[in-house]
A and B are shown apart, each in its own frame.
Chain A
């Protein structure tokens, strides 16, 4: 796809997912934790239906940066490994793709706690 179109789609789709999250927070009684959880589960279900990959193809980072992509990646890892190793692959594969994000958050979150102090 043309580079410029890709950037526009990343902005629009990423913005739209955040907009939906904000609406869920403002128009329902759901807490932010509930909304994030719903978005992750939504990402997992969409991937199960085979709909998330086409979205990534259209929107690039607009689909891979929001938290919905976490659910998508968890399912992806499980599917890839279960195709290779059978049933046990669902368990061993879940963190296959998402490990970068989780490891990075733990490592840099911990390093930050060594360097910084809480504010406010």
Chain B
């Protein structure tokens, strides 16, 4: 009896809580994500052009140093504690670019430094970024296999 009564109360509470909760400002967050994400890609485009025109990389080969430089910047900003403050404002705008991936790796490494380099840093480095690699690789395998089979048949 008691549990049934609690169930009703809980449902009422949930409905009430929802009614007074402020709606998520998705338009504002979305705009911020758009601006910051766009700006990071703009910087990436600038770096890529730099590698093509000044260091004479081919258009395709310039992608690697561009990503590496973005990652170094992101890791440094994470180390100085700037990236995470910035991420609070930018949301997905700072998480979705490759800089967000580097930030996830670096901040997990820093966070667990006190537990030691092997058990702390080594174990936890991919705590946040791991799912992206696991599901990326599995889906790439499936897609690759399908494409291969189409190619063979």
Residues on A close to B: CB < 8 A? 3, 6-7, 10-19, 21-27, 32-33, 35-37, 39-41, 43-45, 47-48, 59-62, 64-67, 69-71, 74-75, 77-79, 82-83, 87, 90-91, 93-94, 100-102, 104-106, 108-113, 115-120
Contact = CB atoms under 8 A, between A and B. Distances in A.
A113 B120 CA distance: 10
A36 B96 contact: yes
A50 to B, nearest CB: 9
A21 B135 CA distance: 17
Contacts of A22: 26, 29-30, 32-34, 91-93
Between A3, A60, A113, the greatest number of chain B beta carbons within 10 A of the residue's beta carbon is seen for A113
Nearest to A59: B41
30 contacts: A14-B41, A16-B34, A16-B38, A18-B34, A18-B97, A19-B31, A19-B34, A21-B33, A22-B29, A22-B32, A22-B92, A37-B131, A37-B132, A37-B136, A44-B136, A47-B143, A59-B41, A64-B48, A64-B66, A65-B67, A67-B98, A67-B132, A71-B140, A77-B140, A82-B147, A108-B75, A109-B125, A112-B79, A113-B110, A113-B121
B110 A18 contact: no
The binding surface of chain B is classed by DSSP as: helix
A67 B128 CA distance: 14
Nearest to B122: A110
Greatest chain B CB density within 10 A among A22, A44, A67 is at A22
Given A14-B97, A33-B128, A79 B144 contact: yes
B75 A109 contact: yes
Contacts of A32: 92, 95
Interface in B96-153: 96-102, 105-111, 113-114, 117, 121, 125, 128-129, 131-133, 135-137, 139-141, 143-148, 151
B10 interface: no
B56 to A, nearest CB: 17
A37 B45 contact: no
B41 A65 contact: yes
Given A71-B140, A113-B113, A7 B101 contact: no
B58 interface: no
